[in-house]
Amino acid sequence: MHGIPKWVTQYAVKSGRSGLHDEMAVQLYHKWPNGVVDAVTYHSHLRQFGKIERDAHYHVQLGGFTELPASIYTMMEFEINHCRAARQPECGRLKLFLREDDWERVMDYANMPTILVEHRISLYEHRFGMTLEQFQNRIRCETIPFGDLSILMDWEYLMQELSER
């Protein structure tokens, strides 16, 4: 495994009705040519068995590196601060901000028709073969892939939006 990898950044931010970030996940990852992945993930709070403790923390998974260069932690701090500053929620709106490098998407639940909210919920239930609560109880913070975490965040906001209509 030669050369210095190019780190790819992903983030997902849930912005609640209070006007504050409910949850934030930021990940730097690199995939080596042989498919091995290195990842550093920041979670604004711990999710375990569907319960939440508000403690920010990191997970580091190394496949190609034996240890991370110090510059990675500087990059991660920059991305976390950039994420916090760039994605200020609108008060009273449920939104999920997703980004990977140059690609970005904003899920604005208040502007979704009810039929679309219900359809997206049923797609998740069909895809995973369970309810949101069952899915939440199966996950562990240290093992959930970043993509599944953003799915979970979306699913939770869809359910919240539907219950509030």
The alpha carbon of 152 is separated from its chain's Cα centroid by a whole number of angstroms, namely 8
Q: What's the whole-model pTM score?
A: 0.78
pLDDT grade for 1, boundaries at 50, 70 and 90: very low
pLDDT tops 50 at residue 142: yes
Report, as an integer, the average pLDDT of 115-136: 96
Residues contacting residue 137 through CB under 8 Å, at least 6 positions apart = 49, 50
Domain for residue 150, yes or no? yes
Q: Name the helix (H) or strand (E) containing 153.
A: helix 146-164
Domain for residue 107, yes or no? yes
- Give me the number of domains the chain comprises: 1
User: In this structure, what token pair is assigned to residue 136?
Assistant: 């939440």
Domain hosting 70: range is 8-164
Domain for residue 97, yes or no? yes
Per-residue DSSP letter, 140: B
Domain for residue 3, yes or no? no
